[in-house]
Structure 1
Amino acid sequence: MARRRPGRHRRAGARQITYREVIAIREFRALWYGQALSLLGDQLAQVALAVLVYDRTGSPLATAAVYALTYLPSIVGGPLLAGLADRFARRGVMLTCDLIRAALVAVMAIPGMPFPVLCGLVFLVVLLSAPFSAARAALLPEVLEGDAYVMGSALQNMTNQAVQMVGFAAGGALIATMGPYRALAIDAATFAGSALILVSGVRRRPAAAREGAQPSMWTMTVGGARLVFGSRKLRTLVLFAWLCGFYILPEGIAVPYAATLYTGTLPIPVITGLLMAAMPTGTVVGAFLFARFVSPPRRLRLMGWMAMLSCAPLVVTAMRPPLAVVLAAWVLSGIGGAYQLAANAAFVQCVPAERRAQAFGLVQSGLMAVQGIGILVGGFAAERLGPEPVVALAGVTGLTSAAVLAMIWTESRGDKTARVRAEAAA
């Protein structure tokens, strides 16, 4: 029975798949459960680390520095380490990363760990997320083919957003009850649990790279960059993915924005929580609707319009509207962000399977970079201009960029359609 499933998925690629069909696939469930488990532990650990570092140092700068360490390793090490998931068996790469991270976080959970050592451990844990994420992203198209991949990506996206909301909301209460060290111990257990799920639910596959002399990691990185940025179509899809730097920016200045919206009715922390939850809520709704009710060909046609929708609602903040209008605009922006599902699926189809992990690693590193840079620039500008004009400016700039990308994408799709018609006529 297991051998008949892949064939059925290939035939089903021409039609729209349901969520129930995707969840019925055992290997996808293993990847899905493992990702949700480790992500929930990570959200708890982020809150625990912030509390732990601030209690130990009393320094907001030290607390911010440790948080910045969650961006730096992926930007610096991601392009180099992602290729490991092409050179070695992807399940093995994921298992190794999970087990090493479980050990490292367990060491972090030892009371009295010196602050420099703690920072080094955080760096290593996040660094290992690069090959793990690249391996998982490259393995998913082998487990789910055709439209099943889009539905599976939508499920994972919705789950990730929901887990983040629950993790951040419940993290403070749990840490207040059990303390930061026990929270870190739970995070270590989630990595071990993820490894156990992978062993039991994902079958072994050989390495994607061909046998013979293996190039160096630097050569693989350079080759991956040429593959991704040497193709006009891939380059456009990557820029679509990196467009999130504009519509993620408002979340980075949610606290000062909440202060401007304060009227005495709701406390500023509550307003901040509402603002930070607005876009993830829209993303969950948009991913569900876009994947479930829009056909695969129509997703590609709507991708440019949805990308513009992800930025356009932010422009309304220039008029300094009340909280309800801001929340509605940010939810709508999150709905527009569902275009990433179509961009991701198109990217997978254009990249050779044996180089998929390296390509995903490069894109993911750039994604982290644009988010981090966008938030830093937004915070710097908000101190001088105020949060409302900065969010509006991000919306205008993002909308303009999305419109240009939409025109390039439409032109490339038109060229492809013309070639297909010419070949059919011949």
Structure 2
Amino acid sequence: MTASARDVLAIRDFRLFLLGRLLASLAQQTASVAVGWLVYDTTHNPMDLGLVGLAQFVPALIFVLPGGHLADKVDRRLILLACSLVTTLVMLALLAIVASGSPDMVAVYAAMSVLGAVRAFWGPAGQSLTPLLVRRDLLSRAVALNSTVWQITVIAGPALGGFLYALGPVAVFGTSSVLLTGATLATFAMTARLSIRTESSGGIFDGIRFVLGRPEILGSVSLDLFAVLLGGATALLPIYARDILMVGPVGLGLLRSAPALGAATSALVLAHRPMERGAGAKLFVAVAIFGAATVVFGLSTSFPLSMAALAVLGAADMVSVVLRQTLVQINTPDEMRGRVSAVNLVFITASNELGEFESGVTAALLGTVPAVVLGGVGTLAVAAIWAYRFPALRRFELSKEGA
């Protein structure tokens, strides 16, 4: 097969990969609004919102290193296909739970635990597949495009979930099941090629050793961990929508969409104008803006101001995401990408799901507003400390590393 023919097949597979990601992410984002509202509306306890994150974090942490090891050993496309099938079954299980009329919270937490385990395999395979489908010189733009697709779903999914919830949770989980079926078909249509398979040696913990030996990578992933762990307020949005801003489930969907709207705008700009010069310094500025916007959101009692703060927060976070993922991908050999992506996913999962648990606990102890404001201030402190502690990351230049 000629190089041009391989490029055509790679572009086709990359488009199918993006389509599958679009449908699967849209389904999960739509369902996440329903789960959050359902749990808080049933129990009225912030701690239970935190338990939703904890239920996903524990299995993800247990399986993510094996998931990365598997991604370096077998066809990554087949891993994505299996994960898509299992997620579809979980969504059908949630549909059955809410259709019963008296949803069991234990069953809901169990379903979320399965989703956490699936993500441990889905994440490393998906993150490490992109460099096999695009040329190195297009990787930064591909990462931004991939992130744009993700953010589109985070905009549309929560809004769709909020509106569908007005028809009842059955409508939400039924729609998500249909979308996941489409994602499974798109992944199945990808061409199974030898270049998608990677032969690698080494053990399951090689990814950890690789990251620990490179200060710029360790600094970037740990920065995200502590910034989002402290500054993430997503788990508490149902409380803001119901008790502080009083905008109901439709308002909750809009609040969940606001960060993604800002992030998608930022990703589109980065796809056309990659940040190559001063990338490390810009990463720290973006994290600081994320923290400041979190403080503004926490103090706001105005729905428009809250939406604006969340949009700025999302835009800053997207700059951080694109810079960090590009840094990791271009500094990792292909035979290690699955395991390194797994380590990266450990930090991402900890910052998101464990962050939700931390937010729920802090809100239960201190109150919702103090918990969010304190988290934003903590993020600002983390940005300052990491800028001092990791000078290699602060001086990082994409143009030099990618040359």
- Shorter-chain TM-score category? 0.7 to 0.9
Alignment match, 2:20:
34
Cα 1:277/1:247, change in 2 over 3 Å? farther
Cα 1:26/1:315, change in 2 over 3 Å? same
Secondary structure of the residue aligned to 2:197 is: coil
In the alignment, the residues of structure 1 paired with residue 87 and residue 243 of structure 2 have an alpha-carbon distance, to the nearest angstrom, of: 41
Cα 1:48/1:250, change in 2 over 3 Å? closer
Alignment match, 1:360:
341
Question: Do the aligned residues in 1 keep the contact of 2:279 with 2:397 (CA within 8 Å)?
Answer: no
In the alignment, the residues of structure 2 paired with residue 255 and residue 276 of structure 1 have an alpha-carbon distance, to the nearest angstrom, of: 9
Structure 2 runs not aligned, ≥5 long: none
Question: Do the aligned residues in 2 keep the contact of 1:243 with 1:402 (CA within 8 Å)?
Answer: no
Q: Which moved more, 1:272-281 or 1:26-35?
A: 272-281
Identity score, percent: 22
- Normalised to the residue count of structure 2, the TM-score between the two structures is 0.79
Rg: which structure is higher? 1
CA-based RMSD: 4.0
Give the counterpart of 1:155 among 142, 145, 149: 145
Cα 1:94/1:380, change in 2 over 3 Å? closer
In the alignment, the residues of structure 2 paired with residue 415 and residue 107 of structure 1 have an alpha-carbon distance, to the nearest angstrom, of: 46
Secondary structure of the residue aligned to 2:286 is: helix
Match status 1:350 vs 2:336: no
Instruction: Tell which has more relative contact order, 1 or 2 (C-alpha 8 A, sep 6+).
Output: 2
Cα 1:176/1:272, change in 2 over 3 Å? closer
Supply the AA of the counterpart residue of 1:345: T
Alignment match, 2:351:
370
Supply the AA of the counterpart residue of 2:335: E
Matches within 5 A, 1:60-71: 64=49, 68-71=54-57
Question: Do the aligned residues in 2 keep the contact of 1:81 with 1:130 (CA within 8 Å)?
Answer: yes
Give the counterpart of 2:379 among 388, 398, 416: 398
In the alignment, the residues of structure 2 paired with residue 49 and residue 326 of structure 1 have an alpha-carbon distance, to the nearest angstrom, of: 22
Alignment match, 1:334:
314
Match status 1:251 vs 2:234: yes
Supply the AA of the counterpart residue of 1:225: I
Question: Do the aligned residues in 2 keep the contact of 1:261 with 1:323 (CA within 8 Å)?
Answer: no
Match status 1:289 vs 2:269: yes
In the alignment, the residues of structure 1 paired with residue 142 and residue 135 of structure 2 have an alpha-carbon distance, to the nearest angstrom, of: 10
Q: CA deviation at 1:344?
A: 0.7
In the alignment, the residues of structure 1 paired with residue 182 and residue 298 of structure 2 have an alpha-carbon distance, to the nearest angstrom, of: 47
Q: CA deviation at 1:244?
A: 4.3
Cα 1:4/1:295, change in 2 over 3 Å? farther
Secondary structure of the residue aligned to 1:296 is: coil
Alignment match, 2:71:
85
Supply the AA of the counterpart residue of 2:265: V
Alignment match, 1:236:
219
In the alignment, the residues of structure 1 paired with residue 40 and residue 276 of structure 2 have an alpha-carbon distance, to the nearest angstrom, of: 48
Q: CA deviation at 1:296?
A: 2.7
Supply the AA of the counterpart residue of 1:251: T
In the alignment, the residues of structure 2 paired with residue 203 and residue 124 of structure 1 have an alpha-carbon distance, to the nearest angstrom, of: 27
Question: Do the aligned residues in 1 keep the contact of 2:13 with 2:133 (CA within 8 Å)?
Answer: yes
Q: Which moved more, 1:356-365 or 1:161-170?
A: 161-170
Give the counterpart of 1:25 among 5, 11, 27: 11
Give the count of matched residue pairs.
Answer: 391
In the alignment, the residues of structure 2 paired with residue 37 and residue 356 of structure 1 have an alpha-carbon distance, to the nearest angstrom, of: 25
Alignment match, 1:204:
193
Secondary structure of the residue aligned to 1:253 is: helix
Question: Do the aligned residues in 2 keep the contact of 1:134 with 1:361 (CA within 8 Å)?
Answer: yes
Cα 1:105/1:259, change in 2 over 3 Å? closer
Cα 1:202/1:2, change in 2 over 3 Å? farther
Question: Do the aligned residues in 1 keep the contact of 2:67 with 2:120 (CA within 8 Å)?
Answer: yes
Q: 1:22-52 CA distances to partner (integer Å, 9 max, x unpaired)?
A: xx93222111100111122223444566788
Alignment match, 1:17:
none
Alignment match, 1:15:
none
Q: CA deviation at 1:208?
A: 1.6
Cα 1:298/1:147, change in 2 over 3 Å? farther
Alignment match, 1:13:
none
Alignment match, 2:288:
308
Alignment match, 1:97:
83
In the alignment, the residues of structure 2 paired with residue 121 and residue 376 of structure 1 have an alpha-carbon distance, to the nearest angstrom, of: 17
Secondary structure of the residue aligned to 1:88 is: coil
Q: CA deviation at 1:130?
A: 1.8
